[in-house]
Each structure stands twice: as structure tokens, then as C-alpha cells.
Amino acid sequence: MSDDLPAAFPIKRGRVHEAQGPGAWSFAAISAGLMDGVTLWCQESWHSEQLNPQGLLGFVDPASVLLAKARDQAELLAIAEESLRDGAVSLVVMELSRPLNLTAGRRLQLAAKTGRSTGLCLIADAAGSAAAETRWRCDPAFDAKDWTRQRWSLTKNKSGILGAWDVRWNWAARRLCVVSSVRE
């Protein structure tokens, strides 16, 4: 376990990344807050879980988040690809219900490369795509003193090392801190 913020974070621009686990939403929110520009959050319309802008407040200004409701995953991928290619939004968050196949993953990568915007897929466990640049597993961890603590493990990285970090979110400074392993 290392003490520094992972080199792979903030996630690389112009690529598509993946996040999974119960903390994936806050991973997405933190990533959105670290980029300037508009975030497009794509969701299938049947989802009953909704994004709460009041909860986003600590991470990113909710006014810079647009929500897109797609009928199904094919439509969701189509609008995500279009927005990535266009480059008008800096981050496209996709909530995926089914794993991506290689073609779809590759198309998203190419679109992100063209538009220089970043994609982030929120995926279920074991639904990763081979085309993703990095894959993060985010698990909130209990800490008696700190209620933002999470354990982020990098389980796939096309251009760097893997690893795991205990991180916490500093509300006041709006930045991510790595919890030093010595503290334990």
C-alpha cells in the first residue's frame, strides 16, 4: 500500500475508465469535481435509484451536471458515444446494467480519444470490459474518526501499476487525501 495519491488518479483524460463497487458513485462524483466543465450523467430511465444533487454538493456543483435518461443500454451507449466524440462535456458517466462487449468498449475509447473527453462506466461486479483504460474498485470502509473513508483498488491499468489506496475526502478543501498506512 502506498501513501501517495495514485498516479492513475485523477483518471486520464481522453480515455474511458471503469468503476465498480458501492463507492463507485462517489468515485464518479469526485472525478467530476476534479474536472472543470460539464458532466453528463447517463442513466437508463427505469432505474429507481436517483442521483441526489444535495449529496453531490460536497463534490461538484450540481449546476454543472446534466442528467440523460436513456430507454435502454443501446441508446445509452449511443448518446454516450456521441457526447464523448463531441467533446462539449468533459466527463460522461454511464451507469451500465450489462457488460460491454469489446466492440462497444473500443468504440467508446475511440470516441473519447476524438473528443478529448473522459468516460467513466459504473459497472456491476465482474462486468468489466477489456477495452477500459483503468478499472477501480471502490469500497467504503468503516473508520471511527472519519466517515468518508474508502478503499480504492486499481484492478486494471493499461499504462501503469496496480495497487490499493485508503482515501478520504476533505470536504473543506474539496480534495482527496490518501490515508497514511502508518496511522493504523
Q: How far is the CB of 115 from other proteins (least distance, A)?
A: 10
- Pairing relation of β-strands 175-178 and 163-170? antiparallel
Q: At what angle do helices 102-115 and 73-86 cross, to 10 degrees?
A: 30
Pairwise CA distance, residues 161 & 123, whole Å: 21
Residue 106 near other proteins by CB under 8 A: no
Residue 126's nearest CA partner among 98, 86, 165 is 98
Residue 44 near other proteins by CB under 8 A: no
Residue 177 near other proteins by CB under 8 A: no
Going from the C-alpha of 175 to that of each of 24, 32, 115, 119, 180, the distances in angstroms are 17, 12, 27, 21, 15
Which window, 83-91, 103-111, 127-135, 154-162, contacts other proteins (CB under 8 A)?
A: 83-91
* Binder among 4, 142, 182, 183 for other proteins (CB under 8 A): 142
Q: How far is the CB of 164 from other proteins (least distance, A)?
A: 14
- Residue 55: count other Cβ atoms within 10 Å of its Cβ: 12
Residue 29 near other proteins by CB under 8 A: yes
* Binder among 38, 124, 164, 178 for other proteins (CB under 8 A): 38
- Pairing relation of β-strands 39-44 and 16-20? unpaired
Which window, 62-70, 103-111, 125-133, 154-162, contacts other proteins (CB under 8 A)?
A: 62-70
Residue 140 near other proteins by CB under 8 A: yes
Helix (H) or strand (E) holding 81: helix 73-86
Residue 36 near other proteins by CB under 8 A: no
Residue 81's nearest CA partner among 110, 43, 39, 44 is 110
Contact residues: other proteins, CB under 8 A: 22-27, 29, 37-38, 45, 48-58, 61-63, 65-71, 75, 78-79, 82-83, 86-89, 138-142, 144, 147-148, 151, 171-172, 174
